[in-house]
Chain A
Amino acid sequence: MMPILSIMILLPVVAALVVATLPGDEAERASRARVVALATTLVEFAAGIWLWVQFDQTTAAFQFTEDLPLFAPYLTWSLGIDGIALMLIELSVFLMPLCILASWVSVKKRVPEYMAAFLFMEALMIGTFAARDIFLFYLFFEGGLIPMFLIIGIWGGARRIYASYKFFLYTLLGSVVMLVAMLWMVGTAGTTDIAALSRFDFPVDAQFWLFLAFFASFAVKMPMWPVHTWLPDAHVEAPTAGSVILAGVLLKLGGYGFIRFSLPMFPDASAQLIWLVFGLSMVAVVYTSLVALVQQDMKKLIAYSSVAHMAFVTGGLFALNTQGIEGAMVMMLSHGLVSGALFLCVGVIYDRLHTREIGRYGGLADTMPKYAVVLLFFTMASVGLPATSGFVAEFLVLIGMYQTSTWATFVLTTGIILGAAYMLWLYARVAYGKAAGDDTRAMPDLNAREIAILAPIIIVTLWMGIYPKSFQTPMQPAIAQVVARLEGRALATMPTDMTMSPIRSAQIAPAVSTQAHAAEGGH
């Protein structure tokens, strides 16, 4: 069989090398680099679609597996995807061409290097989701720091140096602690295979420490309160496409890590430590929503809203039941689309006025009607209006969490209201009222390229909101496997909670998740 995953990883690398060594003068190199990068990412997207079509949605086993003992004795080149990895790969390959298009004119300096960095980024992201060897995962997971550091540090805003250092060192510190835990686990279990490690029963007291070590890395990546502070800085300084990738895909690495490593490998510790995760998620939702309310910088506002949305992801994951985990996964996909799109929307007006200050805008509904509609759509999607992907995600997460902790659900639901508040207020200040100045009034509406970037995201967001089954079905066997691993573990009693029951999967079958029954029957 064709090693499709290896090809998907290596193709962007090759393209990046081509882009970096293109001949010609500066202008020629720039335009060629754009074309090559776009073509490559479109091919990757096509490959992603092919992957989805060929994917067997009925099994939790890894598919498209490849094993090459390339780097023995430390790690093997073993790739493969299950439904969870598949959907995240789809998200990556879907957003990547849009990122390239979004940078088409706004990035003017060092275009070939910029495109090469993005292509490397794509390879590393796909690799992270496709790795079946724990150290291969680490390699891609950490490697992603390098292109992102360069993207923020070279093409970022005024305080880009500070932001890039902070981003790099924060995430690196979290990751090295995880690496120590990985080394210990591999030493104990005697294998680097993720599937085998997921079946290995680590001693319960060791699980506790291992969980915390992985938590150090994933919580920073996620990011969870209180280690979220790198995110607003990184977002504000990153170029638009950098923000899209950061919010769209890189933040998903934390959630992916939780579901791939923490939950199945340390099920007892996960069940025991839900108070920690729920507590941090509750604080995050309320606190970062309030912080988002007072932001003057649009990107910062969306960055804080990302932290709040990610708290839904952690909350859903640690509900430890089918709905919760499924909801968390849908939330990751939905957030990838919606917050990516919101950053693109900010990018659109930033390219025109070169400021992200909310006060400098206003009245865009009059002067830029198309833009106002698009922005309204994504504002609503972010708030979680029914028929958008955000609703499905929030609903599933809350249903899942309600079975585990009513209090946590209550607080997170408050977050939805606060979320509506800051997003709608943002929209009101930007789109309604009077334009802040003549230059604001003179801004042209969306052009064809911008519509071409935003339209696909609108379509997918609606699709995910109206018929989420297409996205849930591939993930369900894999999620059922995780839930099966968690079943029967002793839950910690949360001091603030009213009742606690041992984990049962799929107590309630919500309308949006009819497949939950099938998942339950699967194990």
Chain B
Amino acid sequence: MHPIFTSIAIAGPETVLTLGSLAALMLGTFTHPAKAVTTTSLFAVAILALAGFTLLDAPAASVWAFDGLYIADAFAAFLKVVILVAAAASVLLALPWLQGRDEDGALRGRFEYPVLMLLATLGLTIMVSANDLLTLYIGLELAALPSYVLAAFARGDSRSAEAGLKYFVLGALASGILLYGITLIYGFSGSTQFDAIAAVVSAQSERSLGLMFGIVFILAGLAFKVSAVPFHMWTPDVYEGAPTPVAAFFSAAPKVAALGLMARVLIVAFPGQAAADWQQILIFIAISSMVLGAVAAVAQSNFKRLLAYSSIANIGFALVGLTPGTPQGITALLFYSVVYAAMTLGSFLVLLQLRRPDGAPVEAMADLAGLSKTQPKLALAMAVFMFSLAGIPPLLGFWPKFAVFQAAIAADLLALAIIGFIASVVAAFYYLRIIKIMYADEPGVVLASEGSAVNGAMIAGAALFCSPIGMLAITPLVAAATTAAAALFPNYIPAG
């Protein structure tokens, strides 16, 4: 068989998503406009599920495709499952919003929404399977371009347009920086393939300034994608301006993919001496993200902005897991990304489920006042997510934090752990504030709960997962994450 067919077979999820997104486009075009959104969305979920099924018979060992541009291994498979589930949840949670009407009465939903989601998801899956700087770039851009459009999806809303434009301009800048880094790396190592770069890097006796610059530029570009400080500025504005379902999508799947991508590039392509260099950068990024995410969120009054800062802080915590560059750390990072995706999607879901009496979506934190009296179930779910995000045991959200800091301490990064924990105390303050608003304040506007039963079920599922009951998932989840992390370290011999 021609190698191209073998490669296509190895890249199962991507193949399904590519064909599926084209089919979804056709389906949307030829369906009655009134039904197009629902049909295409459900079709998109089916495609995502199908892409997930192709992962079932994924080989245990790492397999390369497309002349080494692409890699299918346990690490990629783990992340793809998370991405596909998060993407499917994002498509489903948008449905009630899409079926609604804009302020000017026009039907809000256009079937392009699920199609764009599919394309973005395709980009995300390519990112985590990238074994070459060029694949990495293609994946990133494929994920980014639909995202820009999605951010501006509410056409009538000037804030949404502003969010899309801001995201696009800053994203383009970050891509430029990233590309510049890629060219530098290529210039100094002679290759764009991770293994080849690693071979050159390990063979070097002295530190190469060019490579260093390359790493810095690549990290800057990737830090933008995960919205880590100091490249986080777009996040609060985009989260606030973009329609809430879109912000929910941005907060989960792309972050998971970008974290995975970052882990693979750094661990596979820049081992040894270079690892010590990028570790310094990561320590800075992690600390500043945790601290800024915690401190800046305190002053927010808009719930979506708050969640934006919360995601900045969480990315900081997740990067603590990446910093040691050990299998233990990567395991913790993967565990973190799963739990984080559940917590943040859950919080957005609760927000989406609520409606002000005037029909406007809920955004101000003050709107949630007394929610425990008007909507006790949703308030309880939100409280679970908030305590979980704050990292208070016995809620599940504590354990990923525990895991990343355990990895950091095992690698003698004590200062990082201490600063991180203190930042988490500051962060606890604003999560507690939400709980206080919901439970201790008197109800102001009475919020209605409207939204689909599907969303309700997803909230219940996410809340159950984040609750202490979810701790039962630790063992299987960490076992899977350990296998996945091991794929990045084929030659790793544990110390001692």
Contacts and interface: CB of A to CB of B under 8 A. Distances in A.
Nearest to B496: A190
Nearest to A124: B394
Contact of B432 (A143, A160, A165, A176): A165
Contacts of A145: 392
B425 interface: yes
Contact of B425 (A143, A161, A176): A176
B231 interface: no
A47 interface: no
B65 to A, nearest CB: 33
Contacts of B422: 173, 176
Nearest to A143: B394
A184 B414 contact: yes
A113 B438 CA distance: 14
B393 interface: yes
Contact of A169 (B417, B429, B478): B429
B387 to A, nearest CB: 6
A143 B428 contact: no
Contacts of B409: 180, 183-184, 187
B453 interface: no
Nearest to A20: B380
Which of A72, A143, A145, A183 neighbours the largest number of chain B CB atoms within 10 Å of its CB?
Answer: A183
A169 B406 contact: no
Given A74-B478, A176-B425, A183-B409, A146 B471 contact: no
Contacts of A154: 439-440
Contact of A180 (B393, B405, B429, B472): B405
Interface in B459-489: 471-472, 474-475, 478
Given A149-B435, A173-B425, A184-B409, 7 more contacts: A71-B475, A72-B474, A142-B392, A143-B393, A160-B440, A177-B418, A180-B417
Interface of A: 69-74, 113, 135, 138-140, 142-143, 145-146, 149-150, 153-154, 160-161, 164-165, 168-169, 172-173, 176-177, 179-180, 183-184, 186-187
Nearest to B393: A139
Contact of A183 (B372, B394, B406, B425): B406
Q: Nearest 6 A-B pairs (CB), nearest first?
A: A176-B421, A139-B393, A183-B409, A173-B425, A143-B394, A142-B393
Interface of B: 372, 387, 392-394, 398-399, 402-403, 405-406, 409-410, 414, 417-418, 421-422, 424-425, 428-429, 432, 435-436, 439-440, 471-472, 474-475, 478
A168 B426 CA distance: 11
Nearest to B335: A74
Contacts of B440: 153-154, 160-161, 164
Contacts of B478: 72-74
13 contacts: A71-B474, A73-B475, A74-B402, A74-B474, A139-B393, A139-B398, A142-B393, A149-B432, A153-B435, A154-B440, A165-B436, A176-B425, A179-B402
Provide the main secondary structure of the chain A interface.
helix
Contact of B421 (A161, A168, A180, A184): A180
Which of B387, B435, B472 neighbours the largest number of chain A CB atoms within 10 Å of its CB?
Answer: B435
A519 to B, nearest CB: 35
Contacts of A164: 436, 440
Nearest to A168: B432
A307 B475 CA distance: 42
Contacts of A70: 471-472, 475
Contacts, number: 90
Given A74-B402, A74-B403, A143-B394, A150 B429 contact: no
B432 A139 contact: no
A302 to B, nearest CB: 25
A146 B410 contact: no
A238 to B, nearest CB: 13
Contact of A150 (B393, B414, B439): B439
A183 B392 contact: no
Contacts of A73: 475, 478
B405 A183 contact: yes
B436 A161 contact: yes
Nearest to A71: B474
Given A169-B429, A172-B428, A146 B387 contact: yes
A370 B332 CA distance: 61
A306 B429 CA distance: 27
A11 to B, nearest CB: 15
Contacts of A142: 392-393, 398
Contacts of A177: 418, 421
A183 B439 contact: no
Contacts of B405: 179-180, 183
A146 B372 CA distance: 16
Contact of B399 (A74, A160, A161, A187): A74
Nearest to A179: B421
Given A74-B478, A176-B424, A184-B414, A143 B399 contact: no
Contacts of A149: 432, 435
Contact of A165 (B372, B399, B402, B429): B429
B410 A187 contact: yes
Contacts of A186: 406
Contact of B392 (A71, A146, A180): A146
A164 B439 CA distance: 12
A27 B225 CA distance: 53
Contacts of B403: 74
Nearest to B473: A71
Contact of B436 (A72, A140, A153): A153
Contacts of B402: 74, 135, 179, 183
